[in-house]
Amino acid sequence: MTFFEDQLGEGVFQICYCKNCNNTIWPSKETCHICHNKTDWKKSRNIGKIIEFSKREFMYFGLIEIDDGIRVLGDISSTSTPKIDQTVRMSVSFNSKPNYSFIVENN
Amino acid sequence: MSKVAIVGTGQTKFSKDDCDVEKLLFESASNCIQSTNNCDSNNIDGVLVSTNNNLKYLGAILSETIGIQPKISHSIEHLCSSGTNAIISAYSYISSGLSDIMLVSGVESATNPGQVLRWDKSRGNFEHPIYWASMLTKSHKRKFQTTEEELAIVSAKNHKHAMDNPFAYSNEPKTISEVMNSKQITDDLRILDCSRSCSGSSSILLASEEKAKAISDQPIWITGIGQKTTSASFTKNILEEIKSTRIAANSAYKMAKIESKNIDVAEVHDAFSVCELMAISELGIAPNGKSGEFVRDLFNTENRMINPRGGLIGAGHPLGATGISQTIEITNQLQGKSNKRQISNVKTGLIHNMSAAGTSSSIMVLEN
């Protein structure tokens, strides 16, 4: 398991970035592909916005943009139909693959 | 660069059942060699196999099974566009002078590992292509007011075309209504909007200009090639666009010295209905934002210009073989050998293939 995956298992989405050139590195890796210095980590704010969504059976899912323009696919919990650009709160876990879950704020 | 021609083609029927990959490879390669004018197999000095299968050393295995000892043999994998990329690689070997005659064979078993890109951690639990396809479809509906019926027409049209393709996995027609009422996968995707992973194999023989005329009475020339990769991660895409297709198309048109209006027939990558609508727009074949209307008009006038063999939705999608079957269809169209599928007065044809939600595209222009 990678550090990123380990941390997802602890419920933390770690953002990989390069201190030297101030770039966010996604997908995360140990070395910056621009300046080749060792990368560093910072915790996500766990806040995102809905870029697009659909629904399978009773579950909404969609493309969410979180910190620094990183986008992931995850499930969306909402009592009503989600909206584009709506703010969502993220929780994460890891069980053989990443799981990104989002709840619409002020549901 | 010296000219390169397509001088032989061979296929197996596509099937929903898992089949023996080595047997399929041999069958399509054998059909391909037999389609030529007495091409001595020993003159084939390169063998490329395109596949997502995990079996190893297939280039050498195919060479041995057809009884040759080529200079060059290896496999090529690039998800859905593996076959097109293998043809382009063979083109490069020949045009550079490293090879004179190359056999390119694509193969897949129905349960191949090429449908899910595990590396892409941004997909989370939503690894299967139906999820990115749902995002693209919803986004296309939102931006271009694309209707469910326009999406269904893509599938109905391609199923109709596949009825006349003896290599398609199914020859059953599907009406617009049947597509629209087929099993709902997500709010934005029906089962008949999806291509089906299949077993199958396709082979093509390429030759230098010097060798081509001895092997084929109707060599078909590869006159344009364009390729572009923008990322591997789906989530780096702009949902409403297939940028890689647009860039690759411009490169291919420039190399062939043509414009999109010169394309008489095209095989485009319709892994899902929305992909065909997006592709014909990015290729400049349909006006931007009008691809739904364009496909409706094709369907109503029984114009087979787009995906005459039935596309991936109608014919099936054995990933490593798909790009080669697309190329065989355009070759046959340019040779006037497409039987019931034949379009009249074909001079210029195009093959569009792409991988992983359009993060990489490969395009070829063929002329007779």
Residue of A nearest to B129 (CA): A73
Residue of A nearest to B130 (CA): A56
Residue of A nearest to B133 (CA): A54
Does residue B258 sit in helix, strand or coil?
coil
A102 touches chain B (CB under 8 A): no
Among B121, B131, B135, the residue with its CB nearest the CB of A98 is B121
The answer to whether the CB of B205 falls within 8 A of the CB of B102 is yes
Distance CA B126, CA A99 (A): 9
Q: Write out residues 296-355 of B within 8 Å (CB-CB) of A.
A: none
Q: What is the DSSP string of A48-101?
A: EEEEEEEEETTEEEEEEE-GGG-EEEEEEE-SS---TT-EEEEEEEESSSEEEE
Residue of A nearest to B126 (CA): A73
Nearest alpha-carbon partner for B176 in B155, B146, B145: B155
Distance CA B9, CA B216 (A): 11
The shortest C-alpha distance from B302 to chain A (Å) reads 33
Verify whether the Cβ–Cβ distance A52 to B233 is below 8 Å. Answer: no
The two tokens of residue B148 are: 């469910």
> Which amino acid, residue B90?
A
- Torsion angle of C-alpha atoms B100, B105, B106, B109, degrees rounded to 10: -160
B233 chain-A contacts, CB cut-off 8 A: 26-27
Task: Quote the Cα angle for B141-B250-B359, to 5°.
Answer: 50
Give the number of beta-carbon pairs within 8 Å between A and B: 72
Q: Write out residues 21-80 of A within 8 Å (CB-CB) of B.
A: 26-27, 51-56, 61-63, 70-75
* Cα radius of gyration (chain A): 15
The beta-strand segments (E) located in chain B are 4-11, 46-50, 72-76, 101-108, 184-186, 189-190, 200-208, 220-229, 265-267, 348-355, 360-367
Distance CA B153, CA B10 (A): 30
What is the number of other CB atoms lying within 10 angstroms of the CB of residue A95? Answer: 9
The answer to whether the CB of B10 falls within 8 A of the CB of B32 is yes
- Give yes or no for residue A105 having a pLDDT over 90: no
Q: Which CATH class is domain B125-194+223-367?
A: alpha beta
Verify whether the Cβ–Cβ distance A54 to B236 is below 8 Å. Answer: no
Distance CA B337, CA B151 (A): 30
Verify whether the Cβ–Cβ distance A62 to B239 is below 8 Å. Answer: no
Verify whether the Cβ–Cβ distance B125 to A70 is below 8 Å. Answer: no
pLDDT tier for residue A107 given thresholds of 50, 70 and 90: low
Verify whether the Cβ–Cβ distance B134 to A26 is below 8 Å. Answer: no
Among B119, B123, B138, the residue with its CB nearest the CB of A54 is B138
| Sequence spans of domains, chain A | 3-43, 47-104
**pLDDT by 10s per residue, chain B, length 368:** 789 999 999 999 999 988 899 999 999 999 999 999 878 999 999 999 999 998 999 999 999 999 999 999 999 999 999 999 999 999 999 999 999 999 999 999 998 888 889 899 999 999 999 999 999 999 999 999 999 999 999 999 999 999 999 999 988 999 999 999 999 999 999 999 999 999 999 999 999 999 998 899 999 999 999 999 999 998 998 899 999 999 999 999 999 999 999 999 999 999 999 999 999 999 999 999 999 999 999 999 999 999 999 999 999 999 999 999 999 999 999 999 999 999 999 999 999 999 999 999 999 999 99
Instruction: Identify how many contiguous H helices and E strands chain B contains and give both numbers.
Output: 12, 11
For the range B55-63, what are the long-range contacts, defined as Cβ-Cβ under 8 Å and sequence gap of 24 or more? B55/B21, B55/B22, B58/B21, B58/B22, B58/B25, B58/B107, B61/B22, B61/B25, B62/B22, B62/B25, B62/B26, B62/B29, B62/B103, B62/B105
Distance CA A9, CA A7 (A): 5
Among A52, A56, A99, the residue with its CB nearest the CB of B135 is A52
Q: Which CATH class is domain B4-113+198-221?
A: alpha beta
- Give yes or no for residue A106 having a pLDDT over 80: no
The answer to whether the CB of B106 falls within 8 A of the CB of B324 is yes
B231 touches chain A (CB under 8 A): no
The answer to whether the CB of B199 falls within 8 A of the CB of B24 is yes
Verify whether the Cβ–Cβ distance B186 to A54 is below 8 Å. Answer: yes
Verify whether the Cβ–Cβ distance A63 to B138 is below 8 Å. Answer: no
Distance CA A3, CA B103 (A): 45
The shortest C-alpha distance from A56 to chain B (Å) reads 4
B233 touches chain A (CB under 8 A): yes
Pairing status of strand A98-104 against strand A71-77:
parallel
Assess whether the region B4-113+198-221 and the region B125-194+223-367 belong to the same CATH fold. Answer: yes
Among A63, A99, A100, the residue with its CB nearest the CB of B135 is A63
A61 chain-B contacts, CB cut-off 8 A: 126, 131, 134
B135 touches chain A (CB under 8 A): yes
The answer to whether the CB of B336 falls within 8 A of the CB of B122 is no
Helix axis angle, B273-282 relative to B243-256, nearest 10°?
Answer: 50
Distance CA B226, CA B241 (A): 17
pLDDT of residue B89: 98
pLDDT tens figures, A31-82: 999 999 999 999 999 999 999 999 999 999 999 999 999 999 999 999 999 9
| Sequence spans of domains, chain B | 4-113+198-221, 125-194+223-367
Q: Name residue, tokens 């200009």.
A: B209
Q: What is the pTM of this model?
A: 0.96
What is the largest distance, in Å, between two alpha-carbon atoms of chain A? 46
Does residue B15 sit in helix, strand or coil?
strand
How large is the ipTM?
A: 0.96
